[in-house]
Chains A and B, each alone.
Chain A
Amino acid sequence: GDSVTQMEGPVTLSEEAFLTINCTYTATGYPSLFWYVQYPGEGLQLLLKATKADDKGSNKGFEATYRKETTSFHLEKGSVQVSDSAVYFCALGGYSTLTFGKGTMLLVSP
């Protein structure tokens, strides 16, 4: 079945550092790929998505490229801020439901 594997956290960075959160997936067909973010005490919010191979999703300075050859969708940001501290979930879209990874906590210190 479909599955998503994310790097375990927490990821601890200083402000303005470069961020990478790895995500790989296993799926049949050609799913859409998503990153969701969950800030403390809140529900999940869609951060970005890509619907086909080589697409790049981007939002709020975050980027991820759909790599079919490596079945990956790594999340990157060039310069993180304290306000980026949250849990990040990678997900893939099946026909009607999403399959999520376990989440990666990001902690950014001033």
Chain B
Amino acid sequence: GAGVSQSPSNKVTEKGKDVELRCDPISGHTALYWYRQSLGQGLEFLIYFQGNSAPDKSGLPSDRFSAERTGGSVSTLTIQRTQQEDSAVYLCASSLVEGQDYGYTFGSGTRLTVV
């Protein structure tokens, strides 16, 4: 597609429920990133996929968080047993190749509210 697409744009869930957030990167982009944006906290790196390599999961805050990327394209971020502190905007980005010189293209994000 023309840009990075994320769905849903907004999600309200009850504490303890599981949620799935979807990211559809730009076609042909081999690198895909998930970040979390919390009020006053900037952007927190969560996980990074590059081609067929094992993902860099070093930013995931707990084992309730997981992500997969199927066929090198669409990615799903799953949060199990959601907590109120998980409320944030979850941003996905993709880039043409690995490496910071190329910059990222971000989606509009999914605003998650845990009540």
Contact assessment for B31 and A89 in the assembled complex, using a CB-CB cutoff below 8 Å:
no
CB distance from A53 to the nearest CB of B (A): 15
Contact assessment for B56 and A97 in the assembled complex, using a CB-CB cutoff below 8 Å:
yes
Distance in angstroms between the alpha carbons of A42 and B9 in the assembled complex: 11
Chain A residues in 8 Å Cβ range of B4: 43
CB distance from A32 to the nearest CB of B (A): 5
Segment with Cβ contacts to A, from B11-19, B65-73, B74-82, B97-105:
B97-105
Please report the total number of B residues contacting A with Cβ < 8 Å: 25
Cβ contacts B92-112/A at 8 Å (1 or 0 each): 010000111101111111000
Contact assessment for B100 and A97 in the assembled complex, using a CB-CB cutoff below 8 Å:
yes
Contacts A43-B107, A46-B104; A96 near B42 (Cβ below 8 A): no
Chain A residues in 8 Å Cβ range of B43: 44, 89, 100, 103
Q: Which residue of B lies closest to A100 (CB)?
A: B43
8 smallest CB-CB distances across A and B, nearest first, come from A93-B100, A102-B42, A43-B106, A100-B43, A44-B106, A43-B108, A46-B103, A100-B42
Q: Please give 20 more A-B residue pairs, beta carbons under 8 A apart, in addition to A99-B45, A103-B42.
A: A32-B101, A34-B103, A42-B108, A43-B91, A43-B107, A43-B109, A44-B91, A44-B93, A45-B106, A46-B105, A89-B43, A92-B100, A93-B100, A93-B101, A96-B31, A96-B48, A96-B98, A98-B33, A100-B35, A103-B43
Between A and B, 21 residue pairs with Cβ closer than 8 Å are A32-B101, A36-B106, A43-B4, A43-B91, A43-B106, A44-B43, A44-B93, A44-B106, A45-B106, A46-B105, A49-B101, A89-B42, A89-B43, A92-B100, A93-B100, A95-B100, A96-B99, A96-B100, A98-B100, A100-B35, A100-B42
Residues of A within 8 A of B (CB): 31-32, 34, 36, 41-46, 49, 51, 89, 92-103
